[in-house]
Structure 1
Amino acid sequence: MSSLENVFYIQAGLGVLANMFLLFFYTSIILGERPKPMDLISCQLTFVHIMMILSEGDNLLANILESLKLGNNIKCKTTFYINRVMRGLSICVTCLLSVFQAITISPSTSFLGKFKNKVKTRIIYAFFYFWSFNLSFSSRLIFYVAGFINVSETHQMKVTKSCSLFRMNYIIRELILTVIISRDVFLVGVMLTTSTYMVVILFRHQRQCKHLHGINHLRASPEKRATQTILLLLVFYVVMYWVDLIISMTSTLSWMYDPDVLTVQKFVMYAYPTITPLVQISSDKRVISILKNLHSKCH
């Protein structure tokens, strides 16, 4: 599995670099002019994905904490907590992205169209709610994660080379699983619903363009491209999410740690935060123009 681990590290490095580039790009837009709601959401998503990748297992964040001599327990609790918070934020912000785009392309006379003027303030409230919920809900992990010690596997499950997860009370575990599954099923359901809605809107718009000789088509093409990009990301996210969920549930219920399975799970889980910035870079004209200018200056 060493070759797959090498692929994972290359994937993680590519994901961090691409997300860092987008983070600086969106931050400069937000600080330099009136930001669009899409820029706020994309900036938030890139930050979440950077922290997701850096906090996974024995990655950079773990090495930094270890170099500070904070102890293995603190390192494990901190990295595991941050990672779970960011995974929760990833699905929340991705869902918000799908809802926002559905509102953006909706006709003004439709139900969603009525929210167009209120989107920006609602997004700030949504960010506050998402962060508050995930920070507080994931805090339970502080009590069940610790540095790996040599005891029976019935008491702990090794989740990285140096960290382990301890058994929870049956009622607490079932309650936590119910909340997590309910949250994720609801958010994935919203994504699928908005995706279907956007496909219908695009299909109707394409039909109308055939009768209007392309006049409206030219005006709506940026929105159409943005919608197609988001639809691609949503489909990819949902597929990766369910594969990750199946692996996680299987490992948790069987209470078995398999390093090979864990490596495959990492590869699947971080495919989305790696692919997302690459798709955004290739589809955003502002980013493409910046890259072209840099290329022309270098030559």
Structure 2
Amino acid sequence: MDIWNLAIRIIFLSQTTTGILGNLLLMFYYLVLYYKEYTLKPTDLILMHLLAANTLVILSAGVPQTMAVWGLKQFLNDFGCDLLLYIQGFARSVSIGTTCLLSVFQAMTLSPRKSFWNDNKVKASNYVKCSISLLWVFYMVIRFIFFVYNFIKMNSKNMTRNQDFGYCSIVGRDEISDSLYIVLVMCPESFFAVLITWSSASMIVILCRHKRRVQNIRSSHGSRRNYPESRATQNILVLLATFLAFYMLSTILRGCIALLYNHSWWLVYISRLTSLCFPCFVPFVILRHYPILSLFSLIWLRK
């Protein structure tokens, strides 16, 4: 067996397994919180839906791709392939939209008292559930349009080249589907990326200003601990860097694959690996706040 093929198989298997376990672990934690308290803080609610969307992305994209690289190829028919791509698409879009909602809500929460957002903090908390529901419904409808269009195109006589995903293949894109994808998917995702960047940068500025204001007080005690402001700033930077690095890189690679007729399978593998990195790594970024032993201890105490 070629060493590079074996490396690809191990990477896909380890990435998919750790991603599923990490997301399910934190989802279980938030479900325990909801079962015991019958309510969740807005931030916890957003995180739970983000983890649910990430789990769907990994199950619909990571699992079949892992099966394909381990030798089980073309095991889905045309309808199954379209359905799986439908789940992949709307779960990925919901993940991006929920990440944007989380970032904007945190920026509003940390905003100073004299800012414009201070008067809307309570309203934003009340609208979180509605916003999350709208995200799920909106992208289910948007992706259903692509699902129906691909089904109609599959039964037509004018068929373009196929797109091979390893585990299945579908009819290739045309000008209409590309235009719909740009307007209905790429434009909202780009807008969400801009909002995430702006809100995350705002939070970092607010936390840095607060840290400077209290720095003289803390330095008088001679303490060098890692204060909450520093930890929060680091976590925001990690989330921002993770999102921008992996989702933007994934978008660029997908564009290259769509434009190149004779692309290498290595480009396809790298594109699919990067598209799974954000859903797989987010639980471990969140776990920076909840060490694993403390997490299980908290669940046990709540029982």
TM-score by length of structure 1 reads 0.83
Which secondary structure does the structure 2 equivalent of 1:56 belong to?
helix
Corresponding residue of 2:190: 185
Q: Residue 67 of structure 1 aligns with which residue?
A: none
**CA distance in structure 1 between the aligned counterparts of 2:151 and 2:267, rounded to whole angstroms:** 20
Unpaired runs of 5+ in structure 1? 64-69
Where structure 2 has 5 or more consecutive residues not aligned to the other structure, the ranges are 69-74
TM-score, L = length of structure 2: 0.82
Q: Cα–Cα, structure 1 residues 191 and 91, in superposed 2: closer, same or farther, change >3 Å?
A: same
Matched, 1:260 2:266: yes
Query: Within 1, Cα distance between the matches of 2:284 and 2:125?
Result: 25
Picking from 255, 279, 290, the partner of 1:249 is 255
Matched, 1:73 2:86: no
Given residue 32 of structure 1, which amino acid in structure 2 is its aligned partner? Answer: K
Instruction: Give, in angstroms, the shift of residue 255 of structure 1.
Output: 4.1
Alignment-derived partner of residue 30 in structure 1: 34
Identity %: 27
- Where does 1:1-299 land on structure 2 (aligned, <5 Å)? 1-2=4-5, 3-33=7-37, 34-56=39-61, 59=64, 72-142=77-147, 143-144=149-150, 154-168=160-174, 170-213=175-218, 222=228, 225-256=231-262, 258-284=264-290, 288-291=293-296
In 1: Cα distance, 2:279 partner to 2:59 partner: 11
Residues matched between the structures, number: 281
Helix, strand or coil at the partner of 1:144: helix
Q: Give, as a single letter, the amino acid of the residue that structure 2 aligns with 1:16.
A: I
C-alpha displacement at 1:231, in angstroms? Answer: 3.0
Shift in CA distance, 48/223, structure 1 to aligned 2, threshold 3 Å: farther
- More off after superposition, 71-80 vs 200-209: 71-80
Aligned counterpart, 1:66: none
> Following the alignment from structure 1 to structure 2, what is the Cα–Cα distance between the partners of residues 283 and 166?
44
Residue identity opposite 1:280 in structure 2? I
* Aligned-pair Cα RMSD in Å: 3.3
Q: For the Cα contact (< 8 Å) 1:54–1:61, is it kept in 2?
A: no
Corresponding position of 2:71: none
CA distance in 2, matches of 1:105, 1:250: 39
